[in-house]
Every structure is written in C-alpha cells, then in structure tokens.
Structure 1
Amino acid sequence: MRPDASRHLPLADELSVVFARMSGLLLSEETVASSLDLVGALALETVPRAAGAGVSIIDEHGRRSAGSTDRRVQEADALQYELGEGPCLAATAGRQVVRVPDLATEQRWPSWAAAAARLGLAAAISAPLSAGERTLGALKVYATTAGELDGHTEHVVSMFAAQAAVLVANVQSLERARRTSDELRQALAGRDLISTAKGVLMARHGIGEEAALGMLLARCGDGGGTMRQVARAVVDSAVRRRR
C-alpha cells in the first residue's frame, strides 16, 4: 500500500457516510433548488476549514439555480456571473477543479478576486459537477484565511463534487418527470372536459360530433375564451339545468 493511500482511508470512510446522508436527503426533496441548498450545507460540514459553500447549476434551457450556506457565498457567486470571470465559471468550462489559495494575490480573475476579498473571503476551490458528458455547474467552497484550502482539501472537494453531480442529475430527472406527468394529467383532463362538452351539445341539439365541435370552436372565436374554458361553461350549464 502506498504511503498516501492509508492517509485517504479515513477520508473515504467519512465521505461514504456523507454520500449516504446526501442520497437520503436529496431523494426526499421536491425541487432542484432545495436540493442544492442541502448539498451546499453538507459540503460545508465535510470540507475541512471551509467557511462557506455553495452549488450553482445551469439547466438545459440556460436557467441558473444556486444553493449556498450564507450571504457571502451568494454574493461571491453573483459577482462571477456579473463580471464574467471567476473560479466557478472556469471549473465549469474546463471541467476541472480550480483552486485559489489566496484571493489577495490572484491574477487570473483580478476583478472578481478583489470583490470577493472585500466580502471577507480569502481562498476558494471550485469543482465541476460533471455527470457523464454533461457539466451541470460547479460546487464551490470558501475560506476566510489564505492558504487554508490546500491540495488535500482540493481532493476532498473533487470527490464530493463527483458524487453530488450524480445526485443532482437524478433530482433534475425526477423533477422533469414530475413536471411532464403534471402536464400530461392536465392535458388528459382538458381532453375529457372537451369530450363531455361535445356530448352535452350533441344531446341538447341533436347534432353529430363534428357539429358539436364546430359549436365549441365558434364560441371560442366569439370571445368565449379558450377551448377548455368554453367546454367548462357548457358542462357547468348542463349541471345547473339538472338541479
């Protein structure tokens, strides 16, 4: 066994516990946004000497979601998107971990580093959230003392981000499935309502299905509302007549 392998055994054990907690928490959440808050909180608990943590993702439509442990992390993250520079953007674009040992001497993103330092932050590590060929966004941790986030911390963040990416991708998939299911139920309900309305008109006027549909379309054209609204009005009128 290599000398450094035994050093990482406690880390592997610790992370396995964290990953188990993360899985249980994420699977109980309803939205991606709330899941991101949980990942950020667990990252803060897990990463040694971290003073704040957060997660940012961009979905397939370009919408950005973020979860963070405190206001400073939120502001540091927002500054990256505002200025168009910073370690999270670099980690996402390059699909690799980016470490900033000291914001006071950082030259790659001077505008962002200076602004983040004014928030009381002194060091940062960002890791991409990569699931297969997709890069979902980035996980970031901050420290308030320069040099606190070393190579070992980078290793921890990298391992944490790899697992977090899989879990966030799963939550995204679940959320899309729920949304599609809701839309399908609404579509089916609307179709059933229109069919009922056609039946009412067919019975009331002694006409065929095509003629009944034509009457509904005509009412829509006369400003009666959407097809669903017109159908609802017809069905409601039939219910009132029966009372």
Structure 2
Amino acid sequence: MNLDTCHPMTEDLGVLETAALLRELTAGLIAVTGFDEALDRLVRIARAAVPGVDCCGFTALRAGEPAGVAASDAHRAELDDLRHGPDTPALSAIRRREMTIAGALATETRWPAWCARARALGVHGVVSAPVDVDDQVIGAINLYAESPGALTPSHQLTAMLLAEHAGLLLAAVRDRERVAARAGQLDGALLVEGVLGQAVGVIMTQRGCPAPEALDVLRSAASSLDIPLREVAERLVRTVSRPRDN
C-alpha cells in the first residue's frame, strides 16, 4: 500500500527532531556491551521519540535463523517473533532488502495470519525497514500504529534513517561483545596458568572473593606498581611461600 494516500499526521518528525532521535539513539547504545540490551534500548527510544508510532519492535536473524526479538510493548512482542510464524512484514523486509509498508491492515492481503494477530492486538499499520548489522546478523526495525492511515511517508524516511543508524550502532555492540568474549577467554586461561593461578588462589583465600575479582586485584597492583602482571604474581607467591620465623 502506498502511504501517500493515507491521511496526514497532525505532527511529523522534522529534521531537528530526527537529528535529536539519532543523537539519543547513539547516546543510548554507545556504551552497551550486550546485543539484547541494545535492541531493548533501540525500540524504547524509537517508540518514545517518533510521533504517531504506538509501539516499536525489532526482529533479528543470525545465520538465517531467528536470533532475537525486542518490543517496546511486551504484550505485542509476538508480532516481531518469527516463532509465531515466518510470514511477517519484518521477514518480507529482510528477504527483499527493502522497506515493507502496510498502512491499513484491515484490507491488507499479505501475511494473513500475522495481520489477524496484529489487529487483535490493536495494531492497524506497520512499517518494517531492513537493518544490516554484520556478516552474521541482519534484522528489521518495525514501527506500529494503532490507527489506520496514521503512518505517513515521513515514517518511511524515519524508519530508513533509524535502520541505517541502528545498523552501525548494533554492529559496534556486536564488536564489543566479541572483544568481551575474547577477554573472558583470556581471563580463563590466565586463571589456570602456573604462577598466575597460584597468585589468584592466594588472593581468593585471603579475601574470600571469586577468581575474576582476584585477577582484577592482581591487575590493579601491576598497574599501580608499573610492572608486569606475572611479576606481581611471582612476588605474591614468593611472599606467601617464604618460611616464617619461629
């Protein structure tokens, strides 16, 4: 359906408001390290900032399989969840690599089962825009309206800008996840490696703390003394191994 024939909104998202939305989105996602948390923030920010949109969702695929769902309104999350059926506007947008628009679901003939669920949940219009994250993850951001004809060409532009910006931010989040995972693997290797493992065990015993916290104590000491981590561990182990005077 062409949204040019829909009734105009009383308030569209202008240039300044769009810029503010993208800034808020950047601020909200810039330091997030978890992909699911990033999706949750994305849909909540979009829902709050875009006039005429009553809820927002995100559908994610990893290696072609459903990999995540986020919804600003939990009771409508099934509209973004491909486990309820693959025939959805989001999947159409992802497969065709172009925006999918339906301004009046009462007369929409695509995705009949999905449209019935959407109308039952009070949704009567949708814009879905594909989001390229990285070579493993793709998705779609979905803007929903409760009133038929509420979505305008302005929403198409907003959805397109959101998709482009969100793709960059989500890719950065995925990169941070990978870095954190590699750091976790390195920590695990350090914890079992020779003198470092012994030093961590000493600190765990002395402080009654878990291994990652003990490793952080060693790192902090190495940074403060400006000496290698292994040398700090060796000094600690030598100290506790030294025979005590009677």
Could you say whether these structures have the same fold, taking a TM-score greater than 0.5 normalized by the shorter chain as the test?
yes
Q: Where does the alignment leave 5 or more consecutive residues of structure 1 unmatched? A: 1-9, 197-238
Matching residue of 2:100: 98
- Describe the superposition over 1:95-128 as per-residue Cα deviations: whole angstroms up to 9, x where unpaired: 1110111111111111111121111111111111
Per the alignment, in what secondary structure is the counterpart of residue 108 of structure 1? coil
Q: Does 1:31 align with 2:15?
A: no
Query: Which amino acid is the alignment partner of residue 11 of structure 1?
Result: G
**What is the correspondence of 1:28-177 to structure 2 with a 5 Å cutoff?**
28-60=31-63, 62=65, 64-78=67-81, 80-131=82-133, 136-177=138-179
Per the alignment, in what secondary structure is the counterpart of residue 40 of structure 1? helix
Q: Is the 2:133–2:139 Cα contact (8 Å) retained in structure 1?
A: no
> Cα offset for 1:133?
6.6
In the superposition, the TM-score normalised over structure 2's length comes to: 0.69
> Which structure has greater helix proportion?
1
RMSD (Å), alpha carbons: 2.7
Matching residue of 1:20: 23
1:70 and 1:130 map into 2 onto residues whose CA distance is 23
User: Computing the radius of gyration over CA atoms, which structure comes out larger, 1 or 2?
Assistant: 1
> Cα offset for 1:157?
1.1
Query: Which amino acid is the alignment partner of residue 48 of structure 2?
Result: E
1:11 and 1:165 map into 2 onto residues whose CA distance is 22
- Describe the superposition over 1:141-172 as per-residue Cα deviations: whole angstroms up to 9, x where unpaired: 11111111122211111111110111011111
Query: Which amino acid is the alignment partner of residue 42 of structure 1?
Result: I
1:87 and 1:63 map into 2 onto residues whose CA distance is 15
> Cα offset for 1:71?
2.3
> Cα offset for 1:64?
1.3
Q: Where does the alignment leave 5 or more consecutive residues of structure 2 unmatched? A: 1-12, 199-240
Per the alignment, in what secondary structure is the counterpart of residue 46 of structure 2? helix
Aligned residues: 191
In the superposition, the TM-score normalised over structure 1's length comes to: 0.70
- Describe the superposition over 1:188-210 as per-residue Cα deviations: whole angstroms up to 9, x where unpaired: 322336986xxxxxxxxxxxxxx
